[in-house]
Amino acid sequence: MSHLNNIKPSGGKCSLIPSTLIIKSNSFSAYEKAGFRYLKTVQVTGEDEPEYIMRVGKEAAT
């Protein structure tokens, strides 16, 4: 469960940055079932794969 280290709480909201491995293993839908919503995809300098930002909490989609 090391991916839980990527959860970032902030003002009633919580953002999650799942790894590409999680996305490819269909865990993405498990996060959605838990209330996380896809926010955006970002490319991190020096990383080969993009990062997927998900958020849960009040106004999860904003």
The band of 2, judged by pLDDT with boundaries at 50, 70 and 90, is very low
Residue 12: which domain range? 2-57
CB 17 within 8 A of CB 8: yes
Cα separation, 29 vs 45, in Å, equals 27
Residue 62, in any domain of the structure: no
At 4 the pLDDT is: 46
pTM beyond cutoff 0.85 = no
CA distance 46 to 16: 20
Q: What is the pLDDT of residue 47?
A: 81
pLDDT at 44: 81
Q: For residue 11, is it left (φ>0), alpha (ψ between -120 and 50) or beta?
A: left
24 within a domain of the structure (yes/no): yes
Tens-digit pLDDT profile for residues 9-56: 556 666 666 666 566 667 778 878 888 888 888 888 888 878 777 887
Residue 22 Cα to chain centre, angstroms:
10
Phi, psi angles (nearest 5°) of residue 61 = -85, 0
| Residue 41 within a domain | yes
